[in-house]
Structure 1
């Protein structure tokens, strides 16, 4: 009896891991329609986040083909496109951005993995500056607590969060005042988008004036269960409601991507890598 139970458990674990390996290579798309009286024309925006050096096919060809089929007007990037854990390899994201920037306007914000290279210069030296300058040379707009206007009706701001905002316990609170001190006042007439890598600060982001906050960081909760949602974030928070999805409060929105890759916890179950497509439309 015990032997049979052990065999069953091993088979279940093996099946779970095989399913996870399969899911990590399966791209999914989520199309979200938002309407605003601030936009003068309809926009299709693609949001990418948390690639963590993953490649979908050789040289990310599968990912590129999917993006071309979506045909976005603008690509926004929410950070953590690489892995920095004692060392940082930027070849995969730079190769991807080279191809993307040749086809689309690309605006890029930072996540904790990019920012870690700034926090620990004794470990990473000038790697962040080299990576950032490499992106700029490709034509990518890199936001470091700055704002980029797109067209006549979109403003995109990227905020760099310091280490205390990513701590597992006793995190700093990101208030409107702190956001304003870092990036300045929100744009009022254009539709204001804020790239804020961690989704834990929706209150401060919407209070600051973000019409749409784009976040990632939690990888969809690693394992997703019906009704309960994401089980565990990479920061070991359990059943956090902000693991993934679209949230609205007082007419302001936050979209949290499930991301494209993994790193420390290399598991995805019922949680395929995600491309977020935002169709921003005029109110009629």
Structure 2
């Protein structure tokens, strides 16, 4: 009888240990998910160029997906204000395609437009939102104070530097099976836009929501661009130690281009932000803090 009681005691102890471990893991996961949605951080990069004469400071944000950091995004606004950028770049997916309205993005623009000029390019969520006919999004963004660049560009002066700033959503190549960039294969207006965009002595900065728009096929060895800024892939959504982000849209599993800075042949620099939020993905953000990217452009 005593042997049986000891055996039962050991079973109960083992079960208790397993239960405690399961609870601890569940708590850890829940806390890490919360951090991955709410613990803002700033990531900084420096790029040198012979087209830059004096420093320009850019703030890049993307993929807010209607998320808020504090009431009316007060925490995000204060972080941007504290960084003191010369330009604020919003690189798409600031809303969701199923959003009832655009008030989160509009309120954010209204609050930060006095910090620095706000430039906004469209992501897939904005494209789908517009397609649903929910509201006149482009006009709402413009009235809030943003300059919307949709397959268009502006030539601007920032701290004595000439910058050509563009925005696009489409792929910078033809969907012809080979991802070519010839005039004959590409959509004519897109080919002309990219050709015109690169034809300048100004610093060429392109907002393209998807890094996928430039990394495939001939795009990154055809278009002569100094810097492309992107988001879209949420850093891979779930970031694993050593392995990195697990999924990246068109790039599939364990993608290479979902965050950080990358360099190509004619596309000199690409900076990809992990973004600020997440849509209704199959997995939540995990081990993946939301970020504001600060880019320092300096003289080479």
Work out whether the TM-score is over 0.5: yes
Where 2:278 maps in the other structure, the secondary structure is: coil
Q: Could you tell me which residue of structure 1 aligns to residue 35 of structure 2? A: 22
Q: Could you tell me which residue of structure 2 aligns to residue 191 of structure 1? A: 203
* Higher radius of gyration, 1 or 2: 2
Where 2:74 maps in the other structure, the secondary structure is: helix
CA pair 12-176 structure 1, distance change in 2 beyond 3 A? farther
Report whether the alignment pairs 1:158 with 2:167.
yes
Q: Distance in 1 between matches of 2:46 and 2:144?
A: 30
- The alignment covers a number of residue pairs equal to 272
Q: Could you tell me which residue of structure 1 aligns to residue 274 of structure 2? A: 258
Which residue of 51, 56, 65 maps to 2:64?
51
Q: Distance in 2 between matches of 1:5 and 1:94?
A: 50
CA pair 227-66 structure 1, distance change in 2 beyond 3 A? same
Residues 207, 228 of structure 2: 8 Å contact kept = yes
Report 1:184-223 matches (<5 A). 184-185=195-196, 186-200=198-212, 201-202=214-215, 204-205=219-220, 207-223=222-238
Residues 247, 255 of structure 1: 8 Å contact kept = yes
Report whether the alignment pairs 1:224 with 2:239.
yes
Pairwise CA distance, 1:138: 2.8
Q: Could you tell me which residue of structure 2 aligns to residue 240 of structure 1? A: 255
Where 1:32 maps in the other structure, the secondary structure is: strand
Runs of 4+ displaced beyond 4 Å:
1-6
Where 1:84 maps in the other structure, the secondary structure is: coil
Q: Distance in 1 between matches of 2:260 and 2:285?
A: 16
Residues 237, 245 of structure 2: 8 Å contact kept = yes
Pairwise CA distance, 1:264: 1.4
Pairwise CA distance, 1:28: 1.0
* Aligned-residue CA RMSD (Å): 2.7
Q: Distance in 2 between matches of 1:5 and 1:96?
A: 47
Pairwise CA distance, 1:188: 2.8
Residues 228, 269 of structure 2: 8 Å contact kept = yes
TM-score w.r.t. the length of structure 2 is 0.82
Report 1:87-236 matches (<5 A). 87-118=99-130, 120=131, 124-125=132-133, 127=135, 130-151=136-157, 152-161=161-170, 173=179, 175=181, 177=183, 178=186, 179-185=190-196, 186-200=198-212, 201-202=214-215, 204-205=219-220, 207-233=222-248
CA pair 138-78 structure 1, distance change in 2 beyond 3 A? same
Structure 1: gaps spanning 5 or more residues: none
**Any idea what the Cα deviations from partners look like across 1:153-178, whole Å, max 9, x if unmatched?**
1111111328x99x9xx999473754
Q: Distance in 2 between matches of 1:56 and 1:278?
A: 22
Q: Structure 1 stretch 30-39 or stretch 14-23: which is displaced more?
A: 14-23
Q: Distance in 1 between matches of 2:92 and 2:49?
A: 26
**Any idea what the Cα deviations from partners look like across 1:205-225, whole Å, max 9, x if unmatched?**
552121111111000111212
Q: Structure 1 stretch 1-10 or stretch 274-283: which is displaced more?
A: 1-10
TM-score w.r.t. the length of structure 1 is 0.86
CA pair 222-126 structure 1, distance change in 2 beyond 3 A? closer
Residues 107, 144 of structure 2: 8 Å contact kept = no
Residues 180, 208 of structure 1: 8 Å contact kept = no
